[in-house]
Amino acid sequence: MPASQPRSRARDRNNVLNRAEFLSLNQPLKGNQENRSSGRKQSGQAGAAGAQNTNPKERRQSQQLPEEDCMQLNPSFKGIAFNSLLAIDICMSKRLGVCANRASSWGGARSMINLLGLTGHGIPWIAGTLICLVKSSTLAGQEVLMNLLLALLLDIMIVAGLQKLAKRKGPYDINPGLLDYLTMDTYAFPAGHASRVAMLSKFFLNHLVLAIPLRILLVLWAFCVGFSRVMIGRHHITDVLSGFVFGYLQFRLVELIWMSSNTCQMLISIW
């Protein structure tokens, strides 16, 4: 035993790690763990203090962010179907916009297509109805013309309100014309020309006695006017189809609130 103790002391003296400059390497864990634990406590306390200082709205937003991310990464079937149909609608509308500008494939026919669209504009129809109403001398004719004027005014107001709510832009960046600004037809959804021609064609088919060829031409005219709005790049396909639907609903509304002959005569006398 006495001989082994001097040997162990000599071995410890010869060990390089027992020198003063290397003593900190022998016990690194305890100090590092204490520093790390204290750092975690301080960061936890700082995080808790920061969480207490944050507003409830910010806390709610931070809690909602993961859910929103998950919704974007994992959309529902309805969302996928809606986005797919929307993409198809935009793609097909751009392909059919063959008269959107002079450089388009049918750019030379743009003036003719614009003239066709003018036949479905609200201002010429309102002006023509007022002229016919002034020149009309029969009670039946005045009744039909007064209700037609009511239908045209309702069409402008309803379409303008829906467009202000939707605020959908057309497939091409085309500025509306002066007549479009007068009728507040500045957005794409729904198509004002399509709703107007659908309402007018249904109105004439119900209240005018027309031959079968004229009835067919009236329906073809409404379809061509609606399709012309897609060709010049002002509306999408769904805008025109929605315009046809709204035009039919407006006709049904006018039929429900149809003004009688006495009411029309009273309004004409006041005017």
Show me where the domains of the chain are located. Answer: 107-270
Residue 235 annotated to the active site: yes
Q: What is the greatest pairwise CA distance in the chain?
A: 142
Each residue's pLDDT tens digit, 245-258: 999 999 999 999 99
pLDDT of residue 3: 53
Give buried/exposed letters for 225-237 (b at 16+ CB in 10 A, else e).
bbbbbbbbbbbbb
Across 127-141, 170-184, 213-227, least confident range: 170-184
233 vs 211: CA distance, rounded Å: 34
CA 250: distance to chain centroid? 22
User: Is 121 one of the annotated active-site residues of the chain?
Assistant: no
Q: pLDDT at position 74, please?
A: 54
Q: What pLDDT, in 10s, does the model give residues 22-62? A: 454 455 444 445 555 555 545 455 444 444 554 555 555 54
What would the two tokens of residue 268 be? 């004409």
Catalytic residue among 121, 193, 207, 236: 193
pLDDT tens digit sequence for 210-244: 899 999 999 999 999 999 999 998 899 999 999 99
Half-sphere exposure of 50 (CA within 13 A, CB side): 7
Of 121, 207, 235, 236, the catalytic one is 235
Does the predicted TM-score (pTM) go above 0.85?
no
Q: Categorize the per-residue pLDDT at 4 as very low, low, confident or very high, splitting at 50, 70 and 90.
A: low
Has residue 170 got a pLDDT over 50?
yes
